Structure 1
Amino acid sequence: MPSMQNTFLPLCRPALNDADIDAVVAVLRSGWITTGAKNAQLEQMICQLTGATEAVALSSATAGMHLALLALGIGPGDEVITPSLTWVSTINMITLVGATPVFVDVDPDTLMTTAEQIAPLVTPKTRLIIPVHFAGASLDLDPIYALAERHGIAVIEDAAHALGAQYKGQPVGYRGHCIFSLHAIKNVTTAEGGLFVTSDQALADRIRRLKFHGLAVDAFDRETHGRAPQAEVVEPGFKYNLPDISAVLALGQLERLDAITAARQALADDYIEKLRAIPGITPLQDPVHEHRHCRHLMVVRVAPERAGLDRQQLIEALKAVQIGAGIHFMPAHLQKYYRDHYTARYARDMPSLPHTTLAGGQICSLPLFPAMTLGDIDRVIDALNTIVNQHEK
């Protein structure tokens, strides 16, 4: 049997158990494997969790962002304010509907944006703000919503990292419009998938139509338990529905969400304490407002002047000792397409993004998933200590 040191420790691993796998098998045997009763159950559970009245299960969070932009009428001539430090799918969707992304900087300690940073970027063309909950922490939402209300601007919370997080005692998703990811690396997963959450029934109904060809009813009629043959296309739509063989995976995880979050928190606490002794490897600071962190990612900043090596060197050194690491994220304004087509075009008007740019070259995600042990944390910490000691000047 290989030793622990020779076994690869991945960056993440889904929190699935045998009951989750059995649930998928049961759906496969049921005769209905596409969008159906399990989707309806998933949407109901998310409403119960968040307090929102409407939830729409989708094939991805990216699909949710695309449909939300369309449903809100965002298009050519409109500006959408959002951080550059996010997964590029948000920026892609803004661009693909013909709108202009306006990048806002982030707080240097939490890597989340603030109302103070957003306010100077608001113009008469601003139609939407998409703030990002990062790494499992919640944004300071009250000032952002207050700013948006003053200007009559919509808000969509990008909560891809924040299922199970709370803001001032309320679950993320309890207000406004919110998008969660259920991708394979997320705290709750359907392998691929996402959720649009809102208390605006008309908006939710339009997203339901758009997700399935623009039909006037869902693929699964909840009264007849089958397809309604008389369904007509109300408007052109897409194919963004989530199959039940995926949706069912999330149900057991949602029932265990508190335990999953607690396990992640215990591991993160151990990381944070032990990282104090390693020069140049610093975890992000938690927000100062009242919140519950769901510890989606264990993000650290690598300061070359103190650690003796840069972020890429650290990732390669960890890989050499069978420890996975990742980058969340390369800033969108530094991606090739947006360097060539956006940054150059709007160079004179583009706001300075010093904190985003600096963090983009420093941040590194360390392994974190509920099945890890404190011994796994010690293995990562020992490796970091050895690597930094070898690179001390």
Structure 2
Amino acid sequence: MIPYGHQSLDESDIDAVADVLRSDWLTQGPMAPRFGRAVADYCGAAHGVAMSSATAGLHLACLALGLGPGERLWSSPISFVASANCGRYCGAEVDFVDVEPASGNLSIDALERKLELAEQQGRLPKVLVTVHFAGQPVDLAGIDRLRVQYGFKLIEDAAHALGAGFADSRIGDCRYSDATVFSFHPVKPITSGEGGVLTTNDPELAAQVGRLLCHGISRDPALMQGESDGPWYYQQIELGYNYRMSDIQAALGLSQLQRLDQFVARRRALAERYERLLAGLPLTPLARLPGRQSGWHLYVVRLDAGAGITRRQLFEAMRAAGIGVQVHYIPIHLQPYYRDQGFAEGDLPGAEAFYQSVLTLPLYPELSEAQQDEVVEALRQALA
């Protein structure tokens, strides 16, 4: 089976992990802070905090921005459920903004219309989580214009987008946002096994996130009530969580980060080759929008109307041929949990139509051209 995504590891990654295993620290040592700093430096942000997952990063970003009960978080329905769940973890209401059919990214026009109505109703969001779907950045300048006008906080869910860029800005530099969150799951641009990093230019937000991921505990005397009892002393300043990244994971992430640009270049070359090979088939790749440099986490196509085959038939034919295609994503608002919150089919027609036609093809740095040819030949046979 050719998978839709796969980690790319070499001996330098194994050596980096082995060095930690031979060291005095497996967790809470120097490697996790070093990894967070390295990701921030790569992106051009002032601060980077490593943690156990991107989901943890989204949750902590929401907490640090003060999201709570009676407030609202908006996000894209075309994403993994974590992009919305982070709001529910804080007790906030969650709502969704429809997407652009051509890219799968949040629609600025839909966002502007929804904000105008929400202002009239007194129900503006406190936080917007925008998703860089498949690695292609959303229109950050358009969102920033609305953020200034309506006063919401912005979190970039960049789980797909490490190595991507918008205009002359690298995703993760937080030029347009309060925080950006990256994922290091094995199918992502680089991996730490599991893990996440939050970048921000706000030192207070970074410091609070750093406390929240470690139970809300601080050893800083300036934050304590009363005097310290001694060098061993700590206090729990606020209610936090155990969202720490181990030094083992961070060492792998640091090693992988050295090859990120190489990985993204290979993904881009394979994506451009797909476009040439798929010409003439009833499949439409996601639009490549001006001023945006994709990280090419996923290669997603849409099955054209009138193709003579359903998306399910195509999916099953490809799986039967040994091609591990996937679908990204089932719209979040149609999940049973969110249906129970009052959402229903027809609420977000753009996202629902997008879901009905999309198929993710294999894309990862070690995918060979021969394997890519096999993928395309299987598509040709299924579509014939």
| TM-score in same-fold range (> 0.5) | yes
Q: CA deviation at 1:232?
A: 1.4
Unaligned runs of 5+ in 1: 1-7, 219-227
Q: Secondary structure at the match of 2:199?
A: strand
**Match status 1:310 vs 2:322:** no
Give the whole-Å Cα distance in 2 for the aligned partners of 1:41 and 1:205: 15
**Partner residue in 2 for 1:286:** 288
Q: Secondary structure at the match of 1:379?
A: helix
Distance 1:276 1:146, change over 3 A: same
Give the whole-Å Cα distance in 2 for the aligned partners of 1:363 and 1:247: 34
Give the whole-Å Cα distance in 1 for the aligned partners of 2:144 and 2:24: 45
Q: Secondary structure at the match of 1:307?
A: coil
**Partner residue in 2 for 1:170:** 169
Distance 1:264 1:217, change over 3 A: farther
Q: CA deviation at 1:97?
A: 1.6
Residues 209, 217 of structure 1: 8 Å contact kept? no
Q: CA deviation at 1:355?
A: 1.2
After TM superposition, which residue ranges in structure 1, 4 or more long, deviate above 6 angstroms? none
Q: Deviations over 1:45-102 (max 9, x none)?
A: 1121111111110100100111111111111211112111111112222123221112
* One-letter amino acid of the counterpart of residue 11, structure 1: Y
Give the whole-Å Cα distance in 1 for the aligned partners of 2:160 and 2:109: 23
Residues 15, 371 of structure 1: 8 Å contact kept? yes
Give the whole-Å Cα distance in 2 for the aligned partners of 1:52 and 1:367: 31
Give the whole-Å Cα distance in 2 for the aligned partners of 1:100 and 1:204: 25
Q: CA deviation at 1:161?
A: 0.5
Give the whole-Å Cα distance in 1 for the aligned partners of 2:51 and 2:219: 15
Mapping for residues 48-127 of structure 1, pairs under 5 Å: 48-122=41-115, 123=118, 124-125=122-123, 126-127=125-126
Q: Secondary structure at the match of 2:96?
A: strand
Give the whole-Å Cα distance in 2 for the aligned partners of 1:118 and 1:101: 14
Give the whole-Å Cα distance in 2 for the aligned partners of 1:352 and 1:10: 33
**Partner residue in 2 for 1:339:** 339
Task: Choose which of 3, 13, 21 in structure 2 pairs with 1:20.
Answer: 13
**Match status 1:295 vs 2:299:** no
* One-letter amino acid of the counterpart of residue 183, structure 2: S
Unaligned runs of 5+ in 2: 221-230
Mapping for residues 122-161 of structure 1, pairs under 5 Å: 122=115, 123=118, 124-125=122-123, 126-161=125-160
**Match status 1:274 vs 2:277:** yes
Distance 1:312 1:217, change over 3 A: farther
Give the whole-Å Cα distance in 2 for the aligned partners of 1:136 and 1:90: 15
* One-letter amino acid of the counterpart of residue 289, structure 2: P
**Partner residue in 2 for 1:40:** 33
Task: Choose which of 350, 364, 368 in structure 2 pairs with 1:369.
Answer: 364
**Partner residue in 2 for 1:3:** none
Residues 81, 121 of structure 1: 8 Å contact kept? no
Q: CA deviation at 1:249?
A: 0.8
TM score, norm. by length of structure 1: 0.90
Q: What is the aligned length?
A: 365
Q: Secondary structure at the match of 1:235?
A: coil
Mapping for residues 135-284 of structure 1, pairs under 5 Å: 135-175=134-174, 176=177, 177-217=179-219, 229-279=232-282, 281-284=283-286
* One-letter amino acid of the counterpart of residue 358, structure 2: I
TM score, norm. by length of structure 2: 0.92
Q: CA deviation at 1:295?
A: 0.6
Residues 15, 187 of structure 1: 8 Å contact kept? no
Q: Deviations over 1:170-201 (max 9, x none)?
A: 11011221111111110111111111110000
Distance 1:385 1:73, change over 3 A: same
- Deviation larger for 97-106 or 263-272: 97-106
* One-letter amino acid of the counterpart of residue 166, structure 2: Y
Give the whole-Å Cα distance in 2 for the aligned partners of 1:134 and 1:163: 12
Give the whole-Å Cα distance in 1 for the aligned partners of 2:342 and 2:8: 39
Give the whole-Å Cα distance in 1 for the aligned partners of 2:367 and 2:185: 19
Q: Deviations over 1:103-131 (max 9, x none)?
A: 11111101111332212222333211111
Q: CA deviation at 1:217?
A: 4.3
* One-letter amino acid of the counterpart of residue 331, structure 1: P
* One-letter amino acid of the counterpart of residue 216, structure 2: G
* One-letter amino acid of the counterpart of residue 262, structure 1: A
Q: Deviations over 1:267-288 (max 9, x none)?
A: 0011111111212x22111113
Give the whole-Å Cα distance in 2 for the aligned partners of 1:269 and 1:306: 25
Q: Secondary structure at the match of 1:30?
A: coil
Give the whole-Å Cα distance in 1 for the aligned partners of 2:14 and 2:332: 36
Q: Deviations over 1:240-259 (max 9, x none)?
A: 00001011111122111111
